[in-house]
Structure 1
Amino acid sequence: MNLMNRFRDKQTVTLLLKKIEESAKPDKNYSIMEICGTHTVAISRWGLRGILPKNIRLISGPGCPVCVTSQGEIDLIFDLLDKEDVTVAVYGDLMRVPGTNGENLLYLRGKGKKILIINSVVELMKIADEKPEEDFVFVSIGFETTTPQTAFLIKESAKKGIKNISVLLFNKTMPEILNLLLEDENLAINGFIAPGHVSTVTGDELYYGIIRKNRAAVITGFEPVEILEGVMEIIKQVNTNIFYVGNCYKRVVSGRKNIKAYELINEVFESSDAVWRGIGLIKNSGLKIRAEYEDFDAMLKYNLKPYSHNERVGCKCGEVLKGYIKPMDCTLFGTYCTYENPYGPCMVSSEGTCAAYYLYGGVDG
């Protein structure tokens, strides 16, 4: 607890805010995007938007894995449960994500469908190994942080001869979405708060493209002191026009790429085009299971056909994810779409921008 208190210290926060106010040029606007759902929640939880100078704007980007998963991919889960006698294994944040018809996995489990909430892929392997007569399908959603776990699940299951596990692979990769954001003329972003979790796998190499475009990139943790240190670092880079990948999360992120994780990912998966909710098709921004592990591909095993990526009518999650609008700019926010009764994935996921604004508020400076 003492360790965490260092990163939540009120006096340190006050001093950082003073430095930020002194450093931010009054005639300049600073637009900073965080690209991690955990950062989005932390910024709202600690009320950081409301205490920063008015010319510093924190924008929430497409950093929540569940939120960027297309409606067509989500609907495949429901299609599988409708057509096959399988147990679908998921992490808890998928349980309330609605399909096109409005049903969610929590509702279907109450109706008797076999849906298993797991905490790790190791847990799933143990359960599947103990029940060889039952077929399990793991729904894999995430960025570079969780992708190695899915690769481990497939490789280890093959090694152990566990044949009753397959995977619906919806994982996506960060470099391509970063390039898209940098090229977007509708966004004038000065710098990025880089995701701490992803950076433990990618290192700082992921953000070289950002600094080559003369934008700031700073890896931060998720406590108020760390985030404000990141903001201060971004302002410094923008003011001096000297750009490099800063690291304000050295207690966790070394800056080096995790070679072992990438070797595992590349052994089991290969690049593929992917559809991002509200954004559309992005070349080489997804993954698919390599031919040598195709026995674990649920799309092939159950002959599933990809759906179109049409979104739920009226949901503006895509515009929120791109930073074009704030959650409260969506007419459904707080009325038809609430945390208790979510309509779109940005409200469903615990890391969703709409959920963060709904639970903690989204006051700007």
Structure 2
Amino acid sequence: MKYVNEFRQKDLARTIAQNIAAEVRPGRDYHIMEFCGGHTHAIFRYGVQDLMPDNVHFVHGPGCPVCVLPIPRIDNAIELCEKHNVILCTYGDMMRVPASKKKSLIKAKAEGADVRMVYSTQDALEIARKNPDREVVFFAIGFETTTPPTALALRQAKKEGLMNFSVFCNHVLTPSAIGHILDSEDAVADPAVKLDGFLGPSHVSSVIGSQPYEAAVAKYKKPVVIAGFEPLDVMQASLMLIRQINDGRCEVENEYNRVVTREGNLKAQKLVAETFELRDGFEWRGLGWMEKSALKIKPAFADWDAERRFELSESKGKDVKGCACPEILRGLKKPLDCKLFGTICTPENPQGSCMVSSEGSCAAYWSYGRFRGGDEGKETAA
């Protein structure tokens, strides 16, 4: 298959759906967590859930790095541009995520802060070159997918001696989150979040490979199938998970083998290892404090580390009262369980990160399933 339309063929979707229906066992439920928001959007956009038997349930997971970044880190980013008068460069989704007192970077910009949306780390470097008399900070967020470009920017800044450029690092690691979800008391105690397996992230896995998930699979006895973002990818990966569950197997399988290998992108991994090291711990929105779950800039690049260059306050910001984003990110609730969803929380007036991010669960429900209801997400009369 070479073209994207081939991954959206109706006849093939029906065939896979028939195979899934033949594989599922009556009398048992299958709970599959899709870790990535790209999978959530594919499920809703293409009606994948409607092709599944009633006893196959998709559980929405952390979604994306925008969703899981805690409010205190956004407060720090706002502090950088307001108190320290830096030019803060950030990706578009981060502009609108509410921080403490419902303030966001876009509101800070409206009040006079110099916040600029960029499409890449190279844009941020260029802004630093053109503004030698100003401090320029790149607000780096992302799973393993966006970490190599940040590493490259650090290396370029050091090579050029670009001393007015620095990085506020918020890169987090997906395998740690999968283990934490399975370790959490909620996942053990609440039958609503009983998990039988994971759809592994695709773009992340193109960088780190499939090998890093093997330790979690061996420890927790839950299968992982790395899946692409197209509807047929999600369906085929779900079929592979169901077969593993039926067979009592717990393995890492790779449905997305046209892109992902077991070893991953070794060149990108080497670049990241040169510039970053593990943090002792890091807070994730909804998941709390997790050990060894994020990266920090190595001492060799300390001159380009915004956390070392600027004195930042210790924020204790909390989510908007009533916002269910923390529970949604753990798979405890779905967007329709949130009392704010579709009332005061809309894409035009987001109360939480899940409605802001282009990969957030709430954004998916709003865009493709606003009038869906029930655990299965089937269409209901509107």
TM superposition score category, shorter chain reference? over 0.9
| Residue 153 (structure 1) aligned with residue 160 (structure 2) | no
Give SS of 2:262's match.
coil
Which residue in the other structure is 2:217 paired with? 211
1-structure distance, mates of 2:82, 2:5: 49
Asked if the contact 1:179–1:209 (Cα under 8 Å) also holds between the matched residues in 2, the reply is no
Deviation at 1:2, TM superposition (A): 7.1
Asked if the contact 1:278–1:311 (Cα under 8 Å) also holds between the matched residues in 2, the reply is no
Give SS of 2:198's match.
strand
Asked if the contact 1:203–1:257 (Cα under 8 Å) also holds between the matched residues in 2, the reply is yes
Which residue in the other structure is 1:7 paired with? 7
- Aligned partner of 1:202 among 198, 203, 208: 208
Which residue in the other structure is 1:313 paired with? 321
Which residue in the other structure is 2:53 paired with? 53
2-structure distance, mates of 1:102, 1:183: 31
Asked if the contact 2:319–2:352 (Cα under 8 Å) also holds between the matched residues in 1, the reply is no
> RMSD over aligned Cα, in angstroms?
1.6
Which residue in the other structure is 1:260 paired with? 267
Asked if the contact 1:275–1:309 (Cα under 8 Å) also holds between the matched residues in 2, the reply is no
- Aligned partner of 1:280 among 278, 285, 288: 288
Task: Tell me which amino acid in the other structure corresponds to 1:71.
Answer: I
1-structure distance, mates of 2:296, 2:119: 23
Deviation at 1:314, TM superposition (A): 2.0
TM-score, normalised to structure 2, is 0.92
2-structure distance, mates of 1:319, 1:301: 35
2-structure distance, mates of 1:248, 1:280: 31
Which residue in the other structure is 1:93 paired with? 93
- Aligned partner of 2:334 among 322, 326, 345: 326
- Deviation per CA, 1:231-258, whole angstroms, max 9, x where unpaired? 1100111111123221111221123232
Asked if the contact 1:31–1:56 (Cα under 8 Å) also holds between the matched residues in 2, the reply is yes
Which residue in the other structure is 2:199 paired with? 193
- Aligned partner of 2:253 among 239, 242, 246: 246
Which residue in the other structure is 2:231 paired with? 224
1-structure distance, mates of 2:2, 2:202: 21
- Deviation per CA, 1:107-137, whole angstroms, max 9, x where unpaired? 3323332111111112221231232122111
> How many pairs align?
365
| Residue 294 (structure 1) aligned with residue 302 (structure 2) | yes
Deviation at 1:309, TM superposition (A): 5.3
Deviation at 1:222, TM superposition (A): 0.8
1-structure distance, mates of 2:178, 2:304: 30
Deviation at 1:306, TM superposition (A): 2.9
Identity, % of aligned pairs? 39
Give SS of 1:62's match.
strand
- Deviation per CA, 1:310-346, whole angstroms, max 9, x where unpaired? 3332222110000001111111111111112101001
TM-score, normalised to structure 1, is 0.96
2-structure distance, mates of 1:103, 1:181: 29
Task: Tell me which amino acid in the other structure corresponds to 2:201.
Answer: P
Which residue in the other structure is 1:233 paired with? 240
Q: Which runs of 5+ in 2 are unaligned?
A: none
Asked if the contact 1:200–1:255 (Cα under 8 Å) also holds between the matched residues in 2, the reply is no
Asked if the contact 1:36–1:63 (Cα under 8 Å) also holds between the matched residues in 2, the reply is yes
Structure 1 segments, 4+ long, off by >3 Å, are none
Task: Tell me which amino acid in the other structure corresponds to 1:35.
Answer: F
| Residue 41 (structure 1) aligned with residue 49 (structure 2) | no
Q: Which runs of 5+ in 1 are unaligned?
A: none
